[in-house]
Amino acid sequence: MALIHTCYRITDIDRSVAFYEALGFQEVGRLPIKDEAINVFMNQPGDGDMPRLELTYNFGVDSYELGTAYGHIAITASDLDGTLAKLADQGIEPEKPPYSVREGGSRLCFVRDPDGYRIELIETSG
């Protein structure tokens, strides 16, 4: 068995796709589900055909409760400051400035997508 993707519900396809594209994802397909919903599949370059992220838009639903169990998804950034500068140009700001959890640990910060889901950006070396 292998984990193949994460799915969550969104309230605006264009706004969500633009957000994830700003984080380096690319849309790789859409699948209508009768007259109920549309699934939007997102990958990162080099992922092949298997989507990493499935965004589900349900017709007629304006909002969702995030609940207290959801944490976040995490993605890497080789240059966290450069990534944050590019995101800022698109109006995406971190919750707080980058920090390290422990001495010598990777720098990280969190941003929120248009529906409030937290995304952790972790700086990698090289």
Which of the residues are catalytic?
120
DSSP character string of 33-65 = ETTTEEEEEEE-TT-TTS-SEEEEEETT-----
Closest CA to 113 of 5, 15, 7, 14: 15
